[in-house]
């Protein structure tokens, strides 16, 4: 797919700004001399991000034996790479003009897939776990942007899908000029995120990595994208970020599972593990 991302961004029009706290934290993490005090000061400027970080640091996700009470301690516990993931996740949650049921479902969909990707990457050695977390987190950024830029059209699209007029992929062209995957990739590109996140967002449904990417690192990129695709299908089957679970989905037959050469038993085990981990940690990320 050949896409002019600049044209896509101009067409969107009303685009949310990159969250200030995320920008500052990423800048500090890029400095090899950055200390935890500066990172803590930057994060503390956003109470919502601070609260989320402390909650996650104290969750079963990190299996800590004692309570984490300060940002400095939380940063030391989760590590810089995980900190980057969590700050971006908390920032994404706040990227809405309003926050109702639809926005909550979009957030659960994003964080559920992110958690699923992290579990899958570790379980099957299919990708770097933290990169997989971010790839899962951003794979539906386009939907968040659509809802932000034209909430009325996005709600109409969602209702049309729920009333059985067609699938999301079939109907989104009736309401928006570009598919959500294209919109998400274009915005990540504008925000100067790395190429792998842009490409996994663009191709999380079709796994069609373009020719120019089929060189150095192509296998890693393909496996990362397959991990996101598999997590997406598992979340839909479990009903994470959805109105209800879809038991009819054949996860073992999805493109991601096939690409990673996983058997039915492997997939069934992964579904159970993601269900258990998400349920156990849901309130830390979504509550």
Give residue 44's pLDDT. 85
Give residue 287's pLDDT. 61
Query: In 88-124, which positions are buried (b, 16+ CB within 10 angstroms) versus exposed (e)?
Result: bbbbbbbbbeeeeebbebbbbbbbbbbbbbbbbbebb
Give residue 215's pLDDT. 60
Per-residue pLDDT of the chain (287 residues; tens, 9 = 90+): 457 899 999 998 878 777 778 888 888 887 777 777 888 888 888 887 788 788 877 877 766 667 788 888 888 877 777 888 878 887 777 777 777 889 999 999 999 999 999 999 999 999 999 899 999 999 999 999 999 999 999 999 999 999 999 999 999 999 999 999 999 999 999 888 888 999 999 999 999 876 555 565 788 999 999 999 999 999 999 999 998 999 999 999 999 999 999 999 999 999 999 999 999 888 877 76
Give residue 71's pLDDT. 84
| pTM score | 0.88
Cα–Cα distance, 74 to 194 (Å, whole number): 26
Radius of gyration from C-alpha coordinates of the chain: 18
Give residue 239's pLDDT. 96
Give residue 75's pLDDT. 82
Specify the CATH class of 99-287 in words. mainly alpha
Largest CA distance in the chain: 55
Instruction: Name the phi and psi angles at 233, rounded to 5.
Output: -65, -40
Residue 242, phi-psi category: left (phi > 0), alpha (psi -120 to 50), beta (remainder): beta
- Please list the residue range(s) of the chain that carry CATH number 1.10.3210.10: 99-287
């Amino acid at each position: 797919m050949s896409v002019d991302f600049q044209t896509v961004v101009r067409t969107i029009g009303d685009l949310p700004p990159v969250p200030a706290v995320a920008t500052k934290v990423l800048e500090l993490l890029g400095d090899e001399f950055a200390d935890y005090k500066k990172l803590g000061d930057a994060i503390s400027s956003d109470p919502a991000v601070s609260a989320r970080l402390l909650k996650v640091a104290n969750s079963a996700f990190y299996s800590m034996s004692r309570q984490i009470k300060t940002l400095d301690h939380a940063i030391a516990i989760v590590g810089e790479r995980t900190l980057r993931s969590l700050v971006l996740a908390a920032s994404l949650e706040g990227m809405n003009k309003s926050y109702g049921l639809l926005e909550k479902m979009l957030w659960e969909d994003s964080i559920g897939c992110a958690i699923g990707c992290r579990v899958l990457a570790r379980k099957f050695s299919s990708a770097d776990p933290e990169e997989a977390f971010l790839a899962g987190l951003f794979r539906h950024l386009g939907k968040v942007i659509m809802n932000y830029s034209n909430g009325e059209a996005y709600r109409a699209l969602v209702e049309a899908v729920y009333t059985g007029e067609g699938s999301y992929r079939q109907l989104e062209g009736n309401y928006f000029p570009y598919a959500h995957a294209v919109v998400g990739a274009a915005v990540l590109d504008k925000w100067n995120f790395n190429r792998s996140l842009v490409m996994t967002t663009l191709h999380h449904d079709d796994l069609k990595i373009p020719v120019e990417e089929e060189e150095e690192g192509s296998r890693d990129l393909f496996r990362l994208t397959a991990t996101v695709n598999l997590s997406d299908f598992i979340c839909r089957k479990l009903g994470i970020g959805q109105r209800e679970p879809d038991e009819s989905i054949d996860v073992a037959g999805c493109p991601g599972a096939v690409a990673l050469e996983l058997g039915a038993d492997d997939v069934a085990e992964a579904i159970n593990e993601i269900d258990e981990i998400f349920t156990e940690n849901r309130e830390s990320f979504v509550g």
